[in-house]
Structure 1
Amino acid sequence: MDSFAVGMQSFEEIEDNVNRFEGKVTSGNILEKIKRQDRHLHIADWCRRCGKCVESCKQNALSLGPEGVEVDENLCVLCGYCSAYCPDFCIKII
């Protein structure tokens, strides 16, 4: 595994990631709090459809559609790595 810390937004996510790194098990209460957080990958409307994010996604969750970049939420793991490849900073996890 390359990284755990990308896209964390709560104490519970930090604790879970530290536990994973140390080979420990995270408690069920913390995992439930993490699961209840509603998140998705947001592509801003100024996206120029260059496709760099699509090429970088190892989950194949991004594609170029007629209106812009489309996210398959069934494949996206919300890692956020694609945002590093966007020259216009269009990608955020919200």
Structure 2
Amino acid sequence: QKATFKSVFGDCRNRIHAIVTFLALLEMLNSGLVTLIVGEGVNNFWLSEPPAEPEDNYEPQAEATSEPEENPEGETQVNDLPDLEE
């Protein structure tokens, strides 16, 4: 399915509604929930669902470990913070 920018923003009742819609669209683009297709000419954009990826290509982004990493130089750990109780 495709939607044009005009169809997405055409129902905005006021400027604030358009701004909130645009920010939500940016978040959806950043999260990969929608893709942006640029057409020929000026202001020719479509929004669409991202292409389906096969599930067998799943790779975890990070692995959990049971051992904490050593404190890298310059980083403050929770245990290093002063006690604020009086």
Instruction: Flag whether TM exceeds 0.5 (same fold).
Output: no
Higher relative contact order (CA 8 A, sep 6+): 1
With structure 2 as the length reference, what TM-score do the two structures score? 0.24
Return the index of the structure with the highest Cα Rg.
2
